[in-house]
Amino acid sequence: MKKIFNLSMIMLLGCSLAFTSCLKQEEDDIFDKDAVDRLEDAKVEYTNILTDQGGKWAMEYFANENEQGYVFVFDFNKDGSVTISGDNKWIAMEKNGGMISHMFDEDTSLWEVIADDGPVLTFNTYNRVLHMFSSPENIPSEGEDATNETGYGHEGDYEFDLMKYTGDTLYLEGKKYKLPIVMYRLPESTTAADYLNQINDMLASTNVTKFPDLVLYGANGKEYIVNNMSTQVLQFYRRGTYKVDTQVEASCLATAHGIRFLNPVWLIDDTLQTKTMWVQNFERQPDGSFLCTDDGVSVIKSVELASVVADSSYTWKLDNANLGGAFDNAYTELTDACNTLKSPYQKKLQFVQFGFDTKNKKCALQIKVGTATLNFFMEHIQELSDTEVKFNISVEGDNNANRYSAQREEFGQLINLFNQTFEVTTENALNPSRLKLTSKANAADYFYIDVQ
C-alpha cells in the first residue's frame, strides 16, 4: 500500500508540473510581446478588417450632440486610398448654394490605422466629404443663419479610436470629442449613390406635412408626441401635457433600416419629474411605422386613424376607382342617374368627398355634379374606437343637395350606405394620407379615401 501511495503522489506531482508548464506557456504566448508589438499587431489586424471583402463600409457619424447625424460610404483600398461618399444638405449648400435639400458627392484621399494609446483610424489628407465636419471654418449658410456663424464649424472628428470589432460591425469613438461612431460592412456590390439615396428617400417619407403630429406609443404605457422627424433632431413631449414641461430634444440619424439616436433618449412621464423609459434604435416596419428594437414594444406612428377621419379640418376624397361591393354598385348607379338628370341640372358626376361646407359651417358629404357642389350635412363623425368610425349623414342639405336628390333617389341610396360603422386601416402607419374604410357588417363593402 505504501508503494502504491508513493506512486500516486509521484503521478500527481507530475500532472501538477505539467499543468504549471501549460499555464506558463499561455502566459508566455500572451506576454512575450511588449505593448508596442501588440499595438502593431492591432494596427495590422484593423487594416485587414477594413480592406477585407471589398473594403466597403457605411459609417453612422455624429459631428456633435446637437446636430443630426450623417451616413457616409467608405471604399477602403489596400494602397492606402479611400473614397468617401456622402449625400446631405451641407454638400448641397457648399456646391449649390443650398438651393436643394441634399446632394451627392464623393472624394478620394488617404487613410491609415496608426498607433496612439490604441489603434486609431485616421484620414490624414483632406477629404471634402468628411473633413467639412471637422473644419473650423464657418458652416455654409444663407439668409438669417448667415449672421449666426460661430467660427467653430461642426466640431466633428476625423480621427477615431477603434474600440471593438464584432459581427462585421466596428465600434469607434471620436478621438477628440468622444462621440460614439458605428461602422457596418457593406456588400462589395453596393453602389454608394444608390445606398445613400435609399436613406434619403426613407427620410423624405417621414415628412408628413398633412399630419404633423406623430405619436410614440411607449412600452411604459405612456404616449409622446413626436415632432421634427424629417430634420433628425426630434422633440418628444408627453401627450396631453403642456409641451415645455415634458419636452426632450435628441439628435438622430436615418439609416438604411430606420433611425438611431446618438445616445439613449430618456423620456419624462406625466409627473414632469420621473424619467421612466428610454429609446435609441428604431427599425422601419413594412407598414411604415418605426419599432424600437431596444424594448420591442415602443412604436412611432400616426395618431389614431379614427381621429384622423373625424377631424373636420381634413377633406377626404372618395377613390371611385377602388370601391367594393355595395359601394361600387351605388356609385355606378348614381353616375348613370346623373347622366339622365333633366335640364337645367348639370349631369356629369365629378367626385364625392367628406368635407366642410364653409357657407353653412357644417360638416358635409359633398357630391360634385358638373360645376355644382351638393352639400349633404352630417353630424360629427363618431369615434367608436381607435380604428372604428360611424357616419351620420342626412339626405337633406343645402339647396343644391335638396334639388338634385329630389330628382333622383340614387343620391339618397349612396348616402344611406355611408351611414354605418367602418373599420379604418392604412398601408402607411406613419403617413395615413390614404385610408380604407371597410363595413363592419359586410367586409365586401369598402371604399378608399385620400386626403386633399
Q: Does the structure show a pLDDT above 80 at 14?
A: no
Written as one letter, the residue type at 227 is: N
Q: Exposed e or buried b for every residue in 285-317, given b needs 16+ CB within 10 A?
A: eeebbbbbeebeebbbbbbbbbebbbeeebebb
Contacts of 145 (CB under 8 A, 6+ apart): none
The per-residue pLDDT for 140 is 66
Which strands sit side by side in the sheet containing 112-115, from one edge to the other?
Answer: 103-110, 81-88, 70-76, 56-61, 180-185, 169-174, 159-166, 119-122, 112-115
The per-residue pLDDT for 326 is 98
- Summarize the confidence of residues 291-297 as an average pLDDT: 97
Q: Of 61, 35, 30, 27, which Cα lies nearest the Cα of 118?
A: 35
Residue corresponding to grid cell 348616402: 415
The per-residue pLDDT for 241 is 78
Q: Of 260, 119, 238, which Cα lies nearest the Cα of 182?
A: 260
Query: How many residues make up the chain in this entry?
Result: 452
The per-residue pLDDT for 346 is 82
Q: Identify the domain boundary among 283, 303, 323.
A: 303
Which of 3-7, 10-14, 346-350, 353-357 is most confident? 353-357
Residue 153 lies in a domain: yes
The per-residue pLDDT for 35 is 78
Contact 138, 151 (CB under 8 A): yes
- How do residues 27-37 score in pLDDT, each as one tens digit? 445 445 677 88
- Summarize the confidence of residues 273-290 as an average pLDDT: 90
Residues 245 and 171 in one domain: no
Q: Does the structure show a pLDDT above 50 at 8?
A: no
Residue 2 lies in a domain: no
Residues 296 and 312 in one domain: no
Residues 387 and 404 in one domain: yes
The per-residue pLDDT for 293 is 97
pLDDT band at 84 (very low <50, low <70, confident <90, very high): very high
Phi (first) and psi of residue 164, to 5 degrees? -165, 150
The per-residue pLDDT for 180 is 96
The per-residue pLDDT for 302 is 94
* Cα–Cα dist 217/429, whole Å: 13
Residues 158 and 253 in one domain: no
Q: What is the CATH number of the domain that holds 411?
A: 2.40.128
- Summarize the confidence of residues 191-214 as an average pLDDT: 91
Residue corresponding to grid cell 373625424: 310
Residue 14 lies in a domain: no
- The three-class DSSP label of residue 431 is coil
* Cα–Cα dist 3/26, whole Å: 35
- Cell numbers placing 276: 421612466
Residue 400 has, within 13 A of its CA and on its CB side, a CA count of: 19
How many degrees, rounded to 5, is the angle at CA 347 between CA 346 and CA 348? 115
Residue 10 lies in a domain: no
* Cα–Cα dist 14/290, whole Å: 63
Residues 298 and 314 in one domain: no
- Summarize the confidence of residues 246-259 as an average pLDDT: 92
Written as one letter, the residue type at 281 is: N
Which strands sit side by side in the sheet containing 316-324, from one edge to the other?
Answer: 382-385, 388-390, 421-425, 434-439, 446-451, 316-324, 349-357, 362-369, 372-378, 393-397
- Summarize the confidence of residues 305-314 as an average pLDDT: 94
The per-residue pLDDT for 25 is 45
Residues 293 and 313 in one domain: no
* Cα–Cα dist 414/42, whole Å: 75
Residues 163 and 83 in one domain: yes
Residues 219 and 173 in one domain: no
How many degrees, rounded to 5, is the angle at CA 230 between CA 225 and CA 235? 35
The per-residue pLDDT for 42 is 94
Contact 354, 316 (CB under 8 A): yes
The secondary structure of the chain in percent helix, strand, coil, rounded to multiples of 5, reads 30, 35, 35
Residues 282 and 357 in one domain: no
Other Cβ atoms closer than 10 A to 449: 22
Q: Identify the domain boundary among 256, 275, 303.
A: 303
- How do residues 315-350 score in pLDDT, each as one tens digit? 999 999 999 999 999 999 999 999 999 878 888 999
- Summarize the confidence of residues 163-191 as an average pLDDT: 97
- Provide the strand spans (E) within 192-292: 214-217, 223-227, 233-238, 248-254, 258-268, 275-284, 290-292
* Cα–Cα dist 249/254, whole Å: 16
Q: Of 196, 233, 195, 237, which Cα lies nearest the Cα of 218?
A: 237
Residues 297 and 318 in one domain: no
Residue 148 lies in a domain: yes
The per-residue pLDDT for 272 is 61
Q: Identify the domain boundary among 150, 169, 191.
A: 191
Residues 436 and 376 in one domain: yes
* Cα–Cα dist 280/408, whole Å: 59
DSSP for 34-53, written as a single string? -HHHHHHHHHHHHHHHHHGG
Residues 180 and 264 in one domain: no
Residue 17 lies in a domain: no
- How do residues 219-242 score in pLDDT, each as one tens digit? 989 999 999 888 999 999 989 877
Residue 24 lies in a domain: no
* % of residues, the chain, pLDDT over 90: 73
The per-residue pLDDT for 27 is 44
* Cα–Cα dist 345/223, whole Å: 51
Q: Which domain, by its residues, includes 133?
A: 38-191
**Domains: count for the chain:** 3
The per-residue pLDDT for 6 is 41
Residue 253 lies in a domain: yes
- How do residues 112-161 score in pLDDT, each as one tens digit? 999 998 999 999 999 999 999 999 877 766 444 444 555 688 999 999 99
Lowest mean pLDDT among 4-18, 238-252, 283-297, 409-423: 4-18
- How do residues 335-391 score in pLDDT, each as one tens digit? 999 999 987 888 899 999 999 999 999 999 999 999 999 999 998 899 999 999 999
